[in-house]
Amino acid sequence: MLKLIEGTKKDRPVVDYEIIYLNGMIKAIKAKQLEPENKDAAKQIVFYTMKYISVVELKDMTRERLEGLLLFNEMLLNTVCELTPADLITIFPINKTYDGARYQMKDYFTTMEALQDHGLNKPIQIKETASSLLWDYMNHTVMMYQVHCMSAISELHAIETGKGLMEQFFEEQGVKVGTFRKYENDTGQNFMIDEDGRSFPVTKKTPRYIKLVN
């Protein structure tokens, strides 16, 4: 008679991408210090630095760490200046989305247009040009990198002034930005309460693939 023996479930190890990318960046920097003209090392610096910035956790980051992150970004942009748009494509392939015109957003075509306007094989050279090309670049990692850079700048601004960039912008436009707090009652229902004490329930949107029946 066969007997079924149940094994214990093993949890998958947590992958710390921040450490992986940070170590890769440090290794690439050391390689370039030994060989300043090493283009492969420059590409690795761009890859690992952008990957690191795109995944780093900004919550509760100290002022010193935020400033350090922006120094990494300065190094990244300076290294991008040594490359060409064609090099960027080999590091971060352009997302193959082609309907940007329909939604008024960047896509494969607008990215290629920006790169070709500069010259695919022409060195980028200028830091402002590097920033502009990356802003027009359609790639998930590059876009998350842009978001985290802006968030880091906003966090630093909040430390210095008490207000994030978006909060200050709305205030300058005369738009009131309310503060909401989330609470949960005894039955597990979540509520949001505004500054005036008004509350409203938090409801989750039902996925399209679920059909409600009576």
The answer to whether the pTM exceeds 0.85 is: no
Q: Is residue 139 part of a domain?
A: yes
Domain membership flag for residue 47? yes
Question: What strands, in cross-sheet order, belong to the sheet with 199-201?
Answer: 181-184, 190-193, 199-201
Report yes or no on 214 lying in a domain.
Answer: no
Task: List the chain pLDDT tens, one digit each, 214 residues.
Answer: 566 666 566 667 778 999 999 999 999 999 999 999 999 999 999 999 999 999 999 988 999 999 999 999 999 999 999 999 999 999 999 999 999 999 989 999 999 999 999 999 999 999 999 999 999 999 999 999 999 999 999 999 888 887 666 666 666 666 665 565 666 666 677 766 666 656 667 665 545 544 444 4
CA proximity to 71, closest of 96, 89, 52:
52
- Domain-located, residue 12: no
What per-residue confidence (pLDDT) applies to 99? 93
Segments forming the whole domain that contains residue 39: 17-170
Distances 14 to 10, 17, 74, 132 between C-alpha atoms, Å: 12, 9, 30, 35
Task: Count the domains in the chain.
Answer: 1
